[in-house]
Structure 1
Amino acid sequence: MNTSLSGGHAEAPIAADAVARLNAVGLDWRHKAVPATAAGLTAGDFLGTAPRLADFQTPLLTLDAGALRGNADRLASWCGEHGVLLAPHGKTTMAPQLWAEQLSRGAWGITVATFAQLRVAREFGVRRLQLANSLTDPHAIEWVAGTASAEMPILSWVDSTGTVDVIDRTLEAIGSTAVLDVLVELGGTGGRTGARGVDAVLDVARAVSASGHLRLVGVSGYEGSLAHAADADSLAAVRAYLGSMKELHGKLLSEGLYGADTSIIITAGGSAYFDDVVDVLASCITAGTAEGGPAVELMIRSGAYIIHDDGFYRGISPFSRDGGTPFAAGMHGWARVVSQPEPGLAILDAGKRDLPVDKGLPRPQLIGSALGGPMTPLTGAQITAVNDQHSYMAFDAGTTTVRPGDVVRLGLSHPCTAFDKWTLIPVLADTDRDQTVVDLIHTFF
């Protein structure tokens, strides 16, 4: 089978009709973002009433249409300029509507992390999928074997000979003749998954080559688990790891361990170090040779970029570090003061069940007397602690007046743990200038 994993395809990258059907979803009490007055309407009918931020209640998470559009355009353009593929990590949003926006800008496909996420993506007709994980669950192995095809590929990773054995035994037991496309994963000391060291990965690749059910189509890795800052030591650790990926690729070529008649994909790069990935690994890219040498593509998997934030990614993103124009924060939290029990302390009605806290606490930005009304900067205030349903906001009682019922806009950190708290997220035309709700984003966690 002569298969190009990176070439174009005639079919749509996602099923537009499946995405469009989300407008027919009925709204009710299960959607905590939706006002009670919307109950009984479909999402499309509700949007037809031209709702505004003021029609909603707190706590609330909103997105900004301009920021999402600008961020998606920005990275798509950057990837085009650098000649690299983009397979956005869909687990960030688990929102097919946003996947469609990314795919419409030329993304290769969508990356996911779990079997459940694979099923969501395929339900919405995503044609090209990458599982950034190993297949070890027999049910998942059987499903991928029965679902993947040359026209609708599913790539997965392997990081041990044990994984190779599990896949072989599972497919042999059901009499399957399927051949699954896999990438060998290089890990790093203290990191997450991935065989530790080039030699260990070569052993895995040899096992793949000997398997009747697997075909090696690339090298994978995740540098983001090895560093969490942009200082010199962190960047050096990232680049050293990427250098090992490059070394591994060279040895796989020299041993002839890649599958025959296929293009090769080298993939790394979350939303924090994608520039370093391209800087170190771009020299591996080749269009192939007349003598039959394989084409090699470089793929990044940034996921958080389309949303970005006012916290972790704002500080670490390459576009924030290089002195250029950073991505725009595309999400905000809104919370109401439910108690002002002592001077300098306000209790807000949004907690860990509503807003992300794992990469930094929410940051008070603005305050006003009503959601959707005029707001003023909230200088010097900070969130000091967060419970399940409440946040503690400290402020200077001598300079700032805070009353029960006031609404606070919050800057947030880490989109991955913001989206999973909401099944429906309103999108504002412009958070600062036009708070008309122009879309409702459905998530599937």
Structure 2
Amino acid sequence: MREPMTEPMSEPAKRKAISNKGTPETGRSLLNGVSLPAAAIFEAPLSHNLAWMQRFAEAHGAHLAPHGKTTMTPALFRRQLEAGAWGITLATAPQCRAAFASGVPRLLLANQLVGEANMAIVAGLIEAGAEFYCVVDGEANARALGRFFAARGLTLNVLIELGVPGGRTGCRSPERVFELARLVDAEPALQLAGMEGYEGVVTDASQGADPVPAIRDYAARLVECAQRLDRDGLIGVGEPLVTASGSAWYDLIAEAFDAAELRERFTPVLRPGCYVVHDHGLYRQAQRGVLARRPDLHEGLKPALEVFAQVQSLPEPGLAIVALGKRDIGFDQLPEPLRRYREQGPREGGRADETLSVAGWRLTRLMDQHAFIELPAGSDDVAVGDIVAFGASHPCLTFDKWRQVLLVDDALSVREMMETRF
């Protein structure tokens, strides 16, 4: 008797079945049962960072709209909103669509909305109930937005961006801000909802000089522009926004918003993104600056994101090759070896509370999927299969290399698998 015929599996289903076989179950240890390399977020510092930045914003009378491009991880968006975030900031229309589909109702696009395909995405989000804001900095873009959204029968909330000469986008002077505001006021489908800025462009234009005075001046001009737009009757909403702040200078922006007592009329919104997992490079250094300026803040943010990889080869004395590369971790600064573990096996192996030394280890070169580690003399205990935890600079450029990141506890047990939406 013939066996009953079964429906042939489609190619996408085959690929999904194969990929699911390698998916770690919750409760598994990073030292056993998880295919490495893997990106891991530690639960305790993550919780600390969420609460720390929310308290900081509230203490300055501001709201928090974390920049979601950093992680594009809906599970983290949900945690940020649950911690009290006002909304989520995004960089592109598809990112906004992904965030809204993941349950984020209030979206701030901190960029100009250009191109009818992107406008159509946003129109669909507004029609589906999203509260949406985007940035304008020029006449041509404002008129294009006005035509498109008028044809759709929709009203678009826009924020005028204040830039700096030699910087990125944004109106180069307050005079251009007011000219653009009058144009927006004349477009029936556009509603001026406030002012937007990004102080990072000031540091780019400072050419090595101390950027702090220039950032303070920029923040003051941003506030002054918003207040004048309000006095001139050009604001089209009842609760207008004033928003700025990346992950390096948020303290200076918050202080400027607080000193101007903007919350009496405006909704001040801070937009740091990298704080959620912090880092071991660029933002660790920036945080030192924040704490030096504000010693009253005491304990700052804690790095929560690490990438775990294994020693793959010991081809010659003083050299270890680790299975970690540019496809796995950010590399605008070379990753930093943090700790080492012995691979856990059925007979012998390491534990999360038993770390081996990486003192003197120096990552000298990073290829697509190989890291060259220069070992100090006497490193006789290094073995193929050893697991090394690496810290990275600029978490945006690590998250975008992963389809999922693993939430782990201090014992390196996987608590949750968090999918990304890049």
Decide: shared fold, TM above 0.5. Answer: yes
Q: What pairs with 1:316-327 in structure 2 (closer than 5 Å)? A: 316-317=286-287, 320-321=291-292, 322-323=294-295, 324-327=298-301
For 2:276, the equivalent position in structure 1 comes to 306
Give the AA of the match of 2:360. G
Give the AA of the match of 2:286. I
Contact 1:61 1:331 in 2 (8 A): yes
Give the AA of the match of 1:257. L
Helix, strand or coil for the counterpart of 2:409? strand
Task: State the distance in 1 between where 2:176 and 2:128 align.
Answer: 29
Task: State the distance in 2 between where 1:180 and 1:114 align.
Answer: 16
Helix, strand or coil for the counterpart of 1:215? strand
Instruction: Choose the corresponding residue for 1:120, options 85, 95, 98.
Output: 98
Question: TM-score normalized by structure 2?
Answer: 0.87
* Number of corresponding residues: 394
For 1:178, the equivalent position in structure 2 comes to 154
Q: Does 1:355 align with 2:346?
A: no
Task: State the distance in 2 between where 1:339 and 1:146 align.
Answer: 52
Q: Does 1:383 align with 2:356?
A: no
Q: Does 1:240 align with 2:214?
A: no
Q: How far is 1:283 from its partner?
A: 3.4
Q: How far is 1:86 from its partner?
A: 0.4
For 2:67, the equivalent position in structure 1 comes to 89
Q: How far is 1:87 from its partner?
A: 0.5
Task: State the distance in 2 between where 1:385 and 1:351 align.
Answer: 9
Contact 2:93 2:121 in 1 (8 A): no
Instruction: Choose the corresponding residue for 2:80, options 72, 85, 102.
Output: 102
For 2:46, the equivalent position in structure 1 comes to 68
Q: What pairs with 1:366-377 in structure 2 (closer than 5 Å)? A: 366-370=339-343, 373=351, 374-377=354-357
Q: Does 1:59 align with 2:33?
A: no
Q: How far is 1:63 from its partner?
A: 0.8
> What 5-or-longer segments of structure 2 have no aligned partner?
1-14, 345-349
Q: Does 1:405 align with 2:385?
A: yes
Task: State the distance in 2 between where 1:202 and 1:132 align.
Answer: 19
Q: Does 1:199 align with 2:175?
A: yes
Task: State the distance in 2 between where 1:428 and 1:302 align.
Answer: 24
Contact 2:163 2:171 in 1 (8 A): yes
Measured against aligned partners, the alpha-carbon deviations of 1:276-326 in whole angstroms (never above 9, x if no partner) come to: 0011222344455xxxxxx21210011111111111111102654444212
Q: How far is 1:151 from its partner?
A: 5.9
Q: CA RMSD in A?
A: 2.3
Task: State the distance in 1 between where 2:376 and 2:125 align.
Answer: 59
Give the AA of the match of 1:363. E
Q: Please identify, of 123-132 and 370-379, the stretch whose mean Cα deviation from structure 2 is larger.
A: 370-379
Helix, strand or coil for the counterpart of 1:227? helix
Q: CA, structure 1 residues 133+29, in 2 after alignment: closer, same or farther (shift >3 Å)?
A: farther
Identity percentage over the alignment?
35
Task: State the distance in 2 between where 1:284 and 1:142 align.
Answer: 37
Q: What pairs with 1:199-238 in structure 2 (closer than 5 Å)? A: 199-227=175-203, 233-238=210-215
Q: CA, structure 1 residues 411+146, in 2 after alignment: closer, same or farther (shift >3 Å)?
A: closer
Task: State the distance in 1 between where 2:72 and 2:118 align.
Answer: 19
Q: Does 1:439 align with 2:416?
A: yes
Q: How far is 1:406 from its partner?
A: 2.2
Task: State the distance in 1 between where 2:261 and 2:152 align.
Answer: 34
Instruction: Choose the corresponding residue for 1:133, options 88, 97, 111.
Output: 111
Contact 2:220 2:256 in 1 (8 A): yes
Helix, strand or coil for the counterpart of 1:196? coil
Task: State the distance in 1 between where 2:43 and 2:397 align.
Answer: 20
Contact 1:181 1:214 in 2 (8 A): yes
Q: CA, structure 1 residues 400+298, in 2 after alignment: closer, same or farther (shift >3 Å)?
A: farther
Contact 1:186 1:201 in 2 (8 A): yes
Q: CA, structure 1 residues 233+91, in 2 after alignment: closer, same or farther (shift >3 Å)?
A: same
Measured against aligned partners, the alpha-carbon deviations of 1:46-104 in whole angstroms (never above 9, x if no partner) come to: 32xx2111221321211101111111011111222221010111111111111111101
Contact 1:314 1:320 in 2 (8 A): no
For 2:315, the equivalent position in structure 1 comes to 341
Q: Please identify, of 383-392 and 361-370, the stretch whose mean Cα deviation from structure 2 is larger.
A: 361-370
Q: How far is 1:127 from its partner?
A: 1.0
Q: How far is 1:405 from its partner?
A: 2.4
Q: Does 1:419 align with 2:392?
A: no
Contact 2:174 2:225 in 1 (8 A): yes
Helix, strand or coil for the counterpart of 2:326? coil
Q: How far is 1:146 from its partner?
A: 4.0
